[in-house]
Amino acid sequence: MLAYRLWVQSHPLLSAACQFGLLGTLGELIAAGLRARRPALPCTSLELLAKVGAWALLGLVIKAGFVGMRGFTLALLEHRMLPAFLGSGVGLAFALSALTNLFFGPQMMLFHRLEDNLILRRRGFEGMAPALWTLLWFWVPAHTLTFSLPVDFQVGLAALWSVVLGVILGTAARRRSA
């Protein structure tokens, strides 16, 4: 655990890109396999490689977003624009999660869809409404736990949550098609 922490501290952007490149793509692979009911790729091998790069870029965006939203949330608390009980512990973790997912989450999801559309040569934003709902039922609770951890572990857990969401969505799609 110490080696991981030192790596994240020494290379915050590289570690964010690597963790999301690996785990975000893994989540997509698991979801595709669950939907197909067998091991399956969600796209061609070349597109999958591009998706690794897209997830890595998204990791950089998320790292920057986490840093920025922490500053934003702390500034709101300092100016008494949020209730004091949100200033520490689980209250602060919830405030960070709620504000991050309200103000940063939708734009990040749209950016990710644009990446996917470019890679897969698609157009449109079909399916974005259910994706945006995940901000409320999945990401706010998940990131409340994420922001309860020391900063060095937050991006890694956020990337791991991408795998968890892939499993949930893949399982749900599989049940709908059954």
Question: How do the domains of the chain map onto residue ranges?
Answer: 16-177
Say whether pLDDT at 77 is over 80: yes
Q: What percent of the chain has pLDDT over 70?
A: 100
pLDDT for the residue 53: 98
pLDDT above 90: residue 109:
yes
Predicted confidence at residue 76, as pLDDT, reads 98
pLDDT value at 174 more than 80: no
Across residues 118-132, what is the average pLDDT?
Answer: 94
Average pLDDT, the chain: 96
Is the pLDDT confidence value at 27 over 90?
A: yes
Q: What is the mean pLDDT of residues 33-50?
A: 95
> Where are any strands of DSSP class E within 31-93?
none
pLDDT of residue 177: 78
pLDDT (average), residues 24-32 = 95
Long-range contacts of 171-177 (CB under 8 A, 24+ apart): 171/34, 173/31, 173/34, 173/35, 174/34, 174/35, 174/37, 177/35
